[in-house]
Amino acid sequence: METDCLFCRIVAGEIPATIVRETERTLAFRDIDPKAPTHVLVIPKEHYGDVAVLAESDPGLAGEVLATAGAVAEAEGLLGDGFRLMFNTGVNGGQEVFHVHAHVLGGAPLGPMIAR
């Protein structure tokens, strides 16, 4: 655990979150500032800074994050109309919390992938 990492502190139970799914190695909780009717974040419990580092260090765990994201999408009723799965990565990617997280977004048409 990284003591100054917000999402590590959620994993540790030090900061409250609305948890929607938990596996041995992953956690899914609602985004505090939702950008869509459904907006859930999926993280590995272990700290990795971004998706590239995670995929390089532990591809199996990266797969578990994807599997949890898929299970969340199903549980939230998003499979029929579809959803967006997004990993903001680094400064240009708009990443603000440097503990890798997948955004599961859905519940309405989300528009173009990138605003221009």
- What CA–CA distance (Å, rounded) separates 55 from 4? 23
Residues numbered 55 to 84 that lie near ligand AMP (CB under 6 A) are none
99 belongs to the catalytic site: no
Residues numbered 21 to 40 that lie near ligand AMP (CB under 6 A) are 31-33
> What are the angstrom distances between the C-alpha of 33 and each of 26, 60, 103?
21, 29, 12
96, 109, 112, 113: which one binds ligand AMP (CB under 6 A)? 96
Residues forming contacts to ligand AMP in the complex (CB under 6 A) are 6, 15, 17, 31-33, 41, 88, 94-97
Q: Could you give the residue numbers annotated as active site?
A: 101
